[in-house]
Amino acid sequence: MLEKAALLKADWVGGSRHPGVLPELDALGGLLEANEEWQEDASAVRGRMLGILLEVADRYVGLGESASACALLEAAMREYEEVVGLKHPSVKACFRRAEQLLSNLPEDQRQKVAGARRAVPSFVHKVVAAFNEEPAVQRVGEVRSKAEVYDEGGLDPLPVLA
C-alpha cells in the first residue's frame, strides 16, 4: 500500500524525483528496513531519497543557503548510509557535495552545521516533514499544496538552518 501511495503522490506532484514524494518514500523505506528480507528494496528506496535530497540541497545552494544544504546532506548520509552502503553512488555524491560545501563555508556557518549534526530530529527529517500535506478539507485560506509552493522556486516549504 505504501508503494502505491508513493506512486500516486509522484503522479500528483509531477514526478518521482520531486521532493513532495519524500514523506511516502520515507514511510516505505522504514517499513522495508524493518524486515531483513526486504533490505535490497529498502536500499533502493533510500538511494532514491538521497538523489532527491541532493536536488533539494542544490535548491538551498542556489538560494544562498549553503549551510542548510550541507546540514541536509550530512544528515541524509548519517541516516541512510548503513542501509544503502558506503559505496552507493548517491552516498558518494552526498559526501563529495557536503565536503565541498563545508570547505567553502565561513567558520560561523560551519558551527551551525556542526550544531545540526546533534539536532533531534535530524535536518533530513525536518525536510521530509516539510512536505507532509494536510488534507484539503483541513487547509485554511488559499488551498495550495506544499509541492506547488516548492515548484515556485523559493525555499518554502523547506526549513532553514538557524
Q: Is residue 162 part of a domain?
A: no
Number of domains in the chain: 1
In a domain, 46, yes or no: yes
Kindly state whether residue 114 falls inside one of the protein's structural domains: yes
Structural domain for 62, as ranges = 2-133+141-147
Q: Is 75 exposed, middle or buried (0-12, 13-18, 19+ CB in 10 A)?
A: buried
Contact 43, 35 (CB under 8 A): no
89-135 pLDDT, tens digit each = 999 999 999 999 999 999 999 999 999 988 878 899 999 999 998 77
> pLDDT at position 2, please?
87
DSSP state, 133? P
Whether 13 maps to a domain, the answer reads yes
Residue 67 lies in a domain: yes
Identify whether the C-beta of residue 26 lies closer than 8 Å to the C-beta of residue 49: yes
Question: Residue 152: inside a domain, yes or no?
Answer: no
Residue pLDDT, tens place only, 30-69 = 999 999 999 999 999 999 999 999 999 999 999 999 999 9
